[in-house]
Amino acid sequence: MAETIIKVDLSKSAYDNDMIHNRWHPDIPMVATVKPGDDFIIECVDWTGGQIKNDDCADDVRDVDLTQVHFLSGPVGIEGAEPGDLLVVDILDIGAFPDSQWGFNGFFSKQNGGGFLTEHFPEAQKSIWDFNGMFTSSRHVPGVEFAGLIHPGLIGCLPSKEMLEEWNTREKALYDTEPDRIPALATLPYADTAHMGRMPADEAKVAAAEAARTVPPREHGGNCDIKDLSRGSKVYFPVYVKGGGLSVGDLHFSQGDGEITFCGAIEMAGWIHMRVNLIKGGMEKYAIKNPIFKPSPITPKYDDYLIFEGISVDEGGKQHYLDVHVAYRQACLNAIEYLTKFGYSKAQAYAILGCAPVQGHISGVVDIPNACATLWLPTKIFDFDINPGADGPNKELDGSIDIPLSKDK
């Protein structure tokens, strides 16, 4: 049995656990050391550190403190790892805790976080998903059940000092182009709620003011939210500091491509079993700038899809030039409108796209002026036929069930 090298207690604050941190900084001390070839288990709180509860009220999503996220377990040092190496991580298994067999999905209020479709869903909403072994279903979204494609939303190594400076410089420059924007253009360093792990208090005070927030994915991987980085996959991470400093968190039971609802996938606390190895000098040997990975040999087998197209013409009819973001948004909106014809509320349809193993594809980026994106909705996650037919939509869902909504204060 592999050793559990980082433990969490869900009844306590993540700030009380010095094997957890919520910022990226090269000087965050390693909390454990492993050798190449070792396998080990790391426990994780959910990305918000327990701010979201298993209940039928979305006030916690509305009022969430997003400056606290993401709570990560680590960093773990790997003996012999040096800048320029590749850290090879086998994700051997992931699971929820036996006494915490549930996860949440929500839409942040536009005033506090927003999301991909925040103009259409400006208020906070939340659905709870129960885990039934390898499957999940929600009391707030009838008619769907699917197998979990379980994965860490966030995993990566500590940045070097130079890399951190580069992140801060470029993100601040973007932020400054529209500093009053809601939601903001970037999440800048914020010392007040930083948790710097085992860093001594005086040192942490200085470092927290420049430590990078965990929200965006960056060169080291980080918050990539790739659903296919699931158990059984093998990831190659660039190493930037001595020891590597591997941290992980934001475990997802399942997620659709894009994590469009932002709060988030099906978010959960749990454990991850990993094995590490090194490829010395691997970054240069293989010209690696961002992580690469191999998919799992085991994935839920959904091979029938209803596929929605979207082009880069926005909701107001405005033409955009090869804008994949606009095109994918249209594909998602088209899928949502379609699902409402079967009795789903728009919020339920949005939650399905955020939670289920939905695929998103960039289908065309050269046919000026329109990019084409497609959203692949697996048909077998529904317990009724969602295909179009001559008789029209064939199922009326119980309209009394919906996703809890909390109005802005």
> Given the rule CB under 5 A, which residues bind Zn ion?
47, 153, 250, 264
Q: Which amino acid is at 213?
A: R
Cβ-based nearer residue to Zn ion, 171 or 250: 250
Q: Which amino acid is at 277?
A: N
Cβ-based nearer residue to Zn ion, 70 or 204: 70
Q: Residue 376: phi, psi to the nearest 5?
A: -100, 110
Least separation, in Å, of the C-beta of 381 and Zn ion?
20
Least separation, in Å, of the C-beta of 127 and Zn ion?
14
Parallel, antiparallel, or unpaired: how do β-strands 86-95 and 270-279 relate?
Answer: antiparallel
Least separation, in Å, of the C-beta of 97 and Zn ion?
17
Least separation, in Å, of the C-beta of 153 and Zn ion?
4
Cβ-based nearer residue to Zn ion, 34 or 44: 44
Least separation, in Å, of the C-beta of 206 and Zn ion?
29
CB 126 within 8 A of CB 272: no
CB 273 within 8 A of CB 150: no
Cβ-based nearer residue to Zn ion, 47 or 237: 47
Cβ-based nearer residue to Zn ion, 249 or 310: 249
- End-to-end Cα distance, the chain: 49
In the bound state, the residue with its beta carbon closest to Zn ion is 264
Residue 265's nearest CA partner among 123, 407, 146, 93 is: 146
The CA distances from residue 373 to 217, 245, 279, 322, in Å, are 21, 36, 36, 10
User: In angstroms, how far is CA 207 from the centroid of its own chain?
Assistant: 25
Cβ-based nearer residue to Zn ion, 43 or 250: 250
Least separation, in Å, of the C-beta of 336 and Zn ion?
21
Give residues with Cβ within 8 angstroms of 47, minimum separation 6: 69, 70, 71, 153, 154, 249, 250, 264, 267
Least separation, in Å, of the C-beta of 363 and Zn ion?
26
Residue 321's nearest CA partner among 374, 366, 360 is: 366
Least separation, in Å, of the C-beta of 250 and Zn ion?
4
* Residue whose tokens read 């604050």: 13
Cβ-based nearer residue to Zn ion, 78 or 356: 356
Least separation, in Å, of the C-beta of 264 and Zn ion?
3
Cβ-based nearer residue to Zn ion, 77 or 153: 153
Cβ-based nearer residue to Zn ion, 214 or 374: 214
Q: Please report which residue ranges of 295-342 form alpha helices under DSSP H.
A: 324-340
Which helix or strand (DSSP H or E) is residue 32 part of?
strand 32-34
DSSP 176: H
Least separation, in Å, of the C-beta of 114 and Zn ion?
15
Q: Which amino acid is at 259?
A: E
Q: How many CA atoms lie within 13 A of 23 on its CB side?
A: 33
Rg over CA atoms, the chain: 21
* Residue whose tokens read 């968190």: 249
Cβ-based nearer residue to Zn ion, 88 or 355: 355
Residue by residue, DSSP assigns 249-296 as EEEES---TT-TTEEEEEE--EEEEEEEEEETTHHHHTT-SS-EEE--
DSSP 244: E
